[in-house]
Amino acid sequence: MATHNDLGRHGEQLAKTHLLALGYEILDENWTYGKAEVDLIAYKDKTIIFVEVKTRSGNGFGEPEDFVDNRKQKLLANAADEYIYLVNHQGDARFDIISILFKGQQQHSLKHIEDAFWPSSSI
């Protein structure tokens, strides 16, 4: 991985591949609203899933999922509200985190945390 952005893009591609293998439909990638960017928006079993992908090359400062703080959760919740409104979704919604930790150039672990958080100011 040459740069931080390359690592993030690679992680998002791994997350997308993971979701597709589990039967999720990908509705959008890198969808923005205001200051928020939702990495992946997926759909499965009448549920829209807003996915935050966190990719790191080490865990010296904590696990990748630890970096989805309250501020980020609120931004994602606001974006989710807007997305649900725009597509007129009448079903359930949830927030997942996909945490990817690289161990060298090609070796990695992937952790999919379903229903990872539910911001109090959301949906």
* pLDDT tens-digit map of 33-62: 999 999 999 999 999 999 999 988 877 677
pLDDT tens-digit profile of 69-81?
899 999 999 999 9
Give percent above pLDDT 70 in the chain.
Answer: 91
In the chain, domain spans: 4-117
Structure-token pair, residue 56: 């790191």
Residue 88 near residue 8 (C-beta atoms within 8 A): no
Closest by CA position to 67, among listed 51, 50, 54: 54
Triad 58, 79, 95: Cα angle to 5°: 55
pTM given for the model:
0.88
Q: b/e map of 27-41 (b: 16 or more CB within 10 Å)?
A: bbbebebeebebbbb
Q: Which CATH number fits domain 4-117: 3.40.1350.10, 2.30.30.790, 1.10.10.10, 1.10.3080.10?
A: 3.40.1350.10
Q: What are the angstrom distances between the C-alpha of 100 and each of 25, 55, 68, 94, 108?
A: 20, 5, 13, 20, 7
